[in-house]
Amino acid sequence: MRLLYVNAIPGIVNDVFKNKEPWQIVTMTSTATLATVWLWNFIFCQDKSLLERGKKQLFKLARYIPSIRDKINGELVKINETFENDVVHRLKEASFIVHLPKNGLNNEEILNLVRQFVHLGDFDWQAGRVSGAVYRVNNELKQLMGDVYTIASYTNPLHPDVFPGICKMEAEVVRIACHLFHGDEETCGTMTTGGTESILLACKTFRDYAREVKGIKKPEIVMPVTAHAAFDKAAQYLNIKIRAVSLDPQSYAVSIQAMRKAITKNTIMLVGSAPNFPYGTMDNIEAIAELGVKYNIPVHVDACLGGFLTCFMSDAGYNLPPSDFRLPGVASLSVDTHKYGYAPKGSSIILYRKKMYRHYQYTITTDWPGGIYGSPTINGSRAGGIIASCWATLMYFGYNDYVESTKKIIETTKYIERNLREMDGIFVFGTPATSVIAIGSNEFHIYRLSEALSVKGWNLNTLQFPCGVHICITHMHTQPGLADQFLKDVKSELSTILENRNTLTEGKLAMYGMSQSIPDRSVVGDFTKCFLDSMYYTKESETCQ
Ligand SMILES: *Cc1c(COP(=O)(O)O)cnc(C)c1O
């Protein structure tokens, strides 16, 4: 049958080009070839699926229709005003300083202003009313941080010959982390300014590694949908495609089967979270590491959130499957000292199994007139004061205190989880592995609970797809009586809500909830840009768009 076909082709082709001039034949065939190549590229060689691109194009065209454009712009103006009014409200009408003071202020004036600004805001974070955000406040440590920063504030590890001691402190922080996560003498890393930078650097490292060693030119990251937005950010910066893998509906951890299916010849890294931000559930890092070994793809463990809990958990009396360098497939691990390491904001660590990987993280400019310029992370100059503060925090608490604090935090989390599970009308997503508990409801809109608790002074995190809220338990929540206060407030708000389950959400969260149903995500993007703009609002000028 097929043979017949093949035999027939020359005849068909001859028929088509019968009576054509040679130039016509050349033009027709080359046009057809070019068109085929274009079509092939359009359909197959794209970051997004055909359907997704079609949808995007359609929404883009829709904005050319005046009535739709006016409607969207009208909404944007309204939203912008809401955001700006929020800012004014949050700042309690404090006036803005928009020019340099002619003469410098004196210390007392400055300190008073800083005190005033730091204590603006509606939520009592010092009393532990906020989910995550502030991991520990200890007055003695705060004093120490001030002193350490005072001493090291003008140092910069970019100049190791001038500030060798800052480099020593960084090296020690990295080495301590290598030991906590069971690395060997080949394990290495760098300090960074936060989890986002650690993650971005891991993505750059494996992109460049894959390009050089495997010749991958269209890099892809395979990761759970729950992996932190920092991976998406890295992908945007580094021109990498993300393949987001769905979760197992029971455990809310990534489906390993789906992950295996998402691996292609262009995969540069696999990601697992230990645990993830939205649900606090742990991906099956052992299984992901095995995939990594099997397909020879580096595995990154994102332990930004929970790393400084998980590494102390077995000593605190809790069993957890291994999620670090004990697993041969794990090539890198990010862990935030400025979360459960309790250091001031601005520090994190990225670790690699082998020195060879770290070389791909570095950037080197050999021929610059300013000299040979090599730097390990994104920044050139770096804050020596932050490195010293992080180092000092680790020294201040020591191993035993970290174990003790971990014990308290996990105990508090389990206590709250157990009690929430007993309440009517809500459910817990999966099994919290460390300190995050996410709840949802099949009976009412869960954002209503969040809104009601916010009125009572609790600031929780809202989740989408599906709707949920989570609380991230920190050392702040281990204060006596606080967990019970939270549970009491949840219980009483729940009973009010359950009395009239069909009321709609109000206020800001209503908008948040509504935004999930807007099919044109670029509109949601525009709203978000307005929100970011409002952070820079100084009541003079600046409107968004
Ligand atoms: C916080 C967090 C990050 C990013 O850290 P930043 O310090 O906010 O940049 C990454 N992954 C997880 C799971 C996190 O919770």
Nearest CA to ligand 1 atom 15: 305
Q: Do 39 and 156 have their domain in common? A: no
| 53 or 357, which is more confident | 357
Hey, how many other C-beta atoms are within 10 angstroms of the C-beta on 499?
A: 8
**How many whole angstroms separate alpha carbon 429 and alpha carbon 184?**
36
The answer as to whether 201 is a domain residue is yes
Average pLDDT score over the chain: 91
pLDDT digits (tens, 9 = 90+) for 490-532: 999 999 999 987 777 766 667 777 778 788 888 889 889 998 9
Distance 276 CA to ligand 1 centre (A): 9
With a cut of 70, say whether residue 245 has pLDDT above it.
Answer: yes
- Asked which of 396, 430, 449 is the last residue of a domain, the reply is 396
Q: Do 10 and 155 have their domain in common? A: no
Nearest CA to ligand 1 atom 7: 195
Nearest CA to ligand 1 atom 4: 195
The answer as to whether 174 is a domain residue is yes
Q: In which region does residue 121 sit, left (phi positive, over 0), alpha (psi from -120 to 50) or beta (all else)? A: left
Percentage of the chain exceeding pLDDT 90:
71
Distance 298 CA to ligand 1 centre (A): 20
Residue 111: pLDDT band with limits 50, 70, 90:
very high
The answer as to whether 311 is a domain residue is yes
**For a substitution probing ligand 1, which of 277, 323, 471, 473 has the most ligand atoms within 8 Å of its CB?**
277
The answer as to whether 244 is a domain residue is yes
Residues, the chain, total?
A: 545
Q: What pTM was computed for the model? A: 0.89
Distance 220 CA to ligand 1 centre (A): 21
Domain that holds residue 24: 2-45
**For a substitution probing ligand 1, which of 131, 226, 304, 323 has the most ligand atoms within 8 Å of its CB?**
304
Contacts of 83 (CB under 8 A, 6+ apart): 530, 531, 533, 534, 537
CATH number of the domain encompassing residue 298: 3.40.640.10
- Asked which of 367, 396, 425 is the last residue of a domain, the reply is 396
Per-residue tokens: 134: 């502030």
Hey, how many other C-beta atoms are within 10 angstroms of the C-beta on 456?
A: 14
Among 98, 178, 193, CA closest to 390: 193
Nearest CA to ligand 1 atom 1: 305
- Asked which of 334, 364, 396 is the last residue of a domain, the reply is 396
- For the CA atoms of 281, 285, 291, 297, the dihedral, rounded to the nearest 10 degrees, stands at 100
Q: Do 350 and 208 have their domain in common? A: yes
Residue 231, phi then psi, degrees to nearest 5: -70, -40
pLDDT digits (tens, 9 = 90+) for 121-163: 878 888 888 898 889 988 999 999 999 999 999 999 999 999 9
Instruction: Burial-class residue 75 by CB neighbours within 10 Å (0-12, 13-18, 19+).
Output: middle
Pocket lined around ligand 1, Cβ cut-off 6 Å: 194-196, 199, 228, 230, 273, 276-277, 302, 304-305, 336, 348
Instruction: Burial-class residue 77 by CB neighbours within 10 Å (0-12, 13-18, 19+).
Output: middle
Contacts of 534 (CB under 8 A, 6+ apart): 80, 83, 84, 86, 87, 544
Total of domains in the chain: 2
The answer as to whether 391 is a domain residue is yes
**How many whole angstroms separate alpha carbon 317 and alpha carbon 104?**
55
> Which atom of ligand 1 lies at the shortest distance from residue 195's CA?
5
